[in-house]
Structure 1
Amino acid sequence: MLGATTDPLDRALRDWLTHLDVERGLSRHTLAAYQRDVSRYVARLNALGITDPAHVTSAHVSDHLAALRTGDEDHPPLAASSSARALIAVRAFHRFLAIEGDLSADPAKPIVPPRAALRLPKAIPLDQVEALLDAAAVGDTPAALRDRAVLEVLYGAGARVSEVVTLDVDDLDRDGEILRLRGKGEKERIVPLGSYAAVALDAYRTRARPALAVQGRGTPALFLNQRGGRLTRQGIWGLLKAAADRAGLGEAISPHTLRHSFATHLLEGGADVRIVQELLGHASVTTTQIYTKVTIAQLREVYAGSHPRAR
């Protein structure tokens, strides 16, 4: 990996990479990423005249992180996520040296990786959701009835695409108003269905699914493809894209867009965040609370444009 050297810092890097390769058995891709990140760090230290890991201070590590964020003539600035990854590699390097007894203290331990900017969930307005759902039901074919039902479930139940593709016929109650979803970690939750989703599912089950099922060999799957097999994630992405194109929604729409819109519209309508948490299947309410930031942002926008003392 690295040539022979007499510098203690370079030898330490070589020993660490050997440890990761031989003892930890990391993949070639991961090993290359670690080598790239820490080699850049060691080169910066060498440029400062530091050739011994015992002479590295927390300020050196902090300065390196700042340099990653600002960039230089040979390297563009790194985003928070990329610089955090690089710092994690540097911290792992120093932790190894501390464990091996090469350092009396770990200079990288106090340095905290930068947090990536908060990405608020993307939601679309109700009129765009309705346009998307209407665009899915073009004609009265089995595929059109299925596509409408799939999108109604994604939005009406706040379901993940992985939860929709694993739905079986028995996961829908006899009246078609209650749905059992299997989320992350195979955790099950029960969600109610609104009238629009219930009607769309009833039309699909009675008029479309039988026609699709005869093309296959029999499956408990609720949503079927044209060959009578279980509809896949790729199939749902395809039908969603087709509907979005027909609806004239130029921005990228994903199955998760409908889930985000489900949560956002519930909170805008006054739903308690813990109820939304249960409906989404979040293990922690903290995960759900990110949606409240969307509605707060919208409230601020309305306030700024409406209140006479806001400007």
Structure 2
Amino acid sequence: MDFENWSDIKKEFEQFLKFERGLSINSIDAYLNDVSKFQIYCEDNHLVLNTVTRKNIQEFLAWLQEFNISPFTQSRLISGLKTFFSFLMIEHEFVNNPTDLLQAPRLARKLPSVLSIHEIDQLISAIDLTSPEGERNKTIIEILYGCGLRVSELVTLKISNLFLDVEFIKVEGKGSKERLIPIGQHAIKHLRIYLETVRPHIKIKGGNEDIVFLNRRGAALSRVMIFLIIKELASKIGLQKTISPHTFRHSFASHLVEGGADLRAVQDMLGHESITTTEIYTHIDRDYLHSIITQYHPRS
């Protein structure tokens, strides 16, 4: 293997991430972008990949600091390089991994923004149901909040994966991993209305026959379109919070935890690989309790 031929190495790495790790396109692009940054450094310093040492990696990270990168970006870069050198050890029998003892900077965990039930009701009430798009948009909000879907899971939701008689839907999450999610009566009611009274009147573009949510031209809705729908609703009710489709997912999880739901069950519904990711919603719950004490306790 020619370890100066970065083009071939990156193609192999891309295949490894896609087929061995089962990562999404966005994740693969992020890893390749990190490796490209390291490639620039190596070429500028005449470093051959199979001779790179831990000291070289540390100097690379120091070089990046000149561009004022955030701790989050630095942490992601280190993760990307660790994965890259693990791939080289597996596929090209590198003896040493120069990233072995690298420590990513500790990141302050930012609690996600959530909506109250009242705010969600306000957003839904602001939808104009006199148009076909209004009924579709109401269904979208009901499913985002009622099932905790990612926006990518919503726009690719298929009719063949709706099992409304048993109150479940099947979605394809990160890394093409499928999971079953319960769907409540509110979401089912509006989904049936949309499928029976709105969608049949749309002239569907080829290849979109099984997609649930379509635009007026019969194609699948884009992620950007979902953002715009939500932004417009927030503006209508004068909501001061900055929200996105993901805010409904956070609200779904937070309200479940506040209501006493088992954390493992919430983890399964969200499709989190690690329970640690789901545990952030217990912090939100504690913040909520603290706000109640501050607001109502006479000594607070």
TM-score under structure 2 length normalisation: 0.69
- Matched to 1:128, the amino acid is E
For 2:80 and 2:159, the matched residues in 1 are separated by 48
Between 1:187-196 and 1:159-168, the stretch displaced more is 187-196
Distance 1:235 1:193 in 2: 23
User: Which position in structure 1 is the counterpart of 2:266?
Assistant: 276
Q: Point out the more displaced range, 288-297 or 106-115.
A: 106-115
Deviation at 1:29, TM superposition (A): 7.0
Residues 104-155 of structure 1, C-alpha deviations (whole Å, 9 max, x = no match): xx9997562312221222212111111112223x132211000000111011
CA distance change for structure 1 residues 82 and 36 in 2, over 3 Å: closer, same or farther? farther
Q: Structure 1 residues 232 and 308, CA, compared in 2 at 3 Å: closer, same or farther?
A: same
Contact 1:179 1:193 in 2 (8 A): yes
Q: For each residue in 1:179-213, what CA deviation from the matched residue of structure 2 results, as whole angstroms up to 9, or x when unmatched?
A: 2222223222222222221221122112111122x
Structure 1: distance between partners of 2:3 and 2:262: 51
**2:71, 2:165 → 1: CA distance?**
50
Amino acid at match of 1:123: V
Identify the residue that residue 114 of structure 1 maps to in structure 2: 105
Q: Does 1:197 align with 2:187?
A: yes
Distance 1:196 1:109, change over 3 A: closer
**1:241 correspondence with 2:231:** yes
Identity rate, percent: 35
Q: Secondary structure at the match of 1:271?
A: coil
Deviation sequence 1:143-178 (CA, Å, 0-9, x none): 100000011101100011111111122222253832
Aligned-partner Cα distance in 1 for 2:5–2:71: 27
1:156–1:193 contact (8 Å) kept in structure 2: yes
In 2 relative to 1, CA 284–32 (structure 1 residues): closer, same or farther, beyond 3 Å?
closer
Question: Aligned equivalents of 1:203 and 1:176: distance in 2?
Answer: 17
Q: Which has the higher contact order (CA 8 A, sep 6+)?
A: 2
Aligned length: 267
Does the CA contact (< 8 Å) of 1:120 and 1:290 recur in 2?
yes
**Long gaps (5+) in structure 2:** 12-31, 44-52, 83-93
Give 3-state SS (helix, strand or coil) of 1:190's partner: strand
CA distance in 2 between partners of 1:230 and 1:108 (Å):
42
Partner of 2:124: 133
Aligned pairs for 1:165-176 (under 5 A) are: 165-175=155-165
Q: CA deviation at 1:35?
A: 7.9
Which of the residues 275, 294, 297 maps onto 2:284?
294
Alpha-carbon separation, structure 1, partners of 2:98 and 2:165: 63
Aligned 8 A contact 1:183 1:281 in 2: yes
Partner AA of 2:111 in structure 1: L
Please point out which of 205, 213, 220 is paired with 2:210: 220
2:35/2:81 contact within 8 Å kept: no
Secondary structure of the residue aligned to 2:239 is coil
Q: 1:182 to 1:77 in 2, by over 3 A?
A: closer
Q: Tell me, yes or no, if the aligned pair for 1:165 and 1:231 is still in contact at 8 Å.
A: yes
In structure 2, how many angstroms separate the alpha carbons of the residues matched to 1:187 and 1:111?
A: 30
SS in 2 for 1:250: coil
CA distance in 2, matches of 1:86, 1:280: 26
Q: 3-state DSSP class of the match of 2:179?
A: strand
1:175 alignment partner, SS class: helix
Deviates more, 1:82-91 or 1:290-299: 82-91
Check 1:270–1:239 CA distance in 2 against 1; reply closer, same or farther (3 A cut): same
Which amino acid is the alignment partner of residue 132 of structure 1?
A: L
Task: Output aligned runs, 1:87-166, within 5 Å.
Answer: 112-136=103-127, 138-166=128-156
Cα shift readout 1:271-307 (whole Å, capped 9, x = no counterpart): 1101111211222322211211211222234345555
Aligned to 2:250: 260
- CA deviation map 1:245-278 (0-9, x unaligned): 2122233211111001000010001111011112
In 1, the alpha carbon distance for the partners of 2:154 and 2:102 equals: 42
The answer as to whether partners of 1:155 and 1:262 remain within 8 angstroms in 2 is: yes
Contact 1:240 1:255 (8 Å CA) reproduced: yes
Offset of residue 215 of structure 1 = 5.6
Counterpart residue number, 1:231: 221
- Which SS does the other structure have where 1:179 is aligned? strand
Structure 1: tracts of 5 or more residues without a match? 1-17, 40-53, 92-99
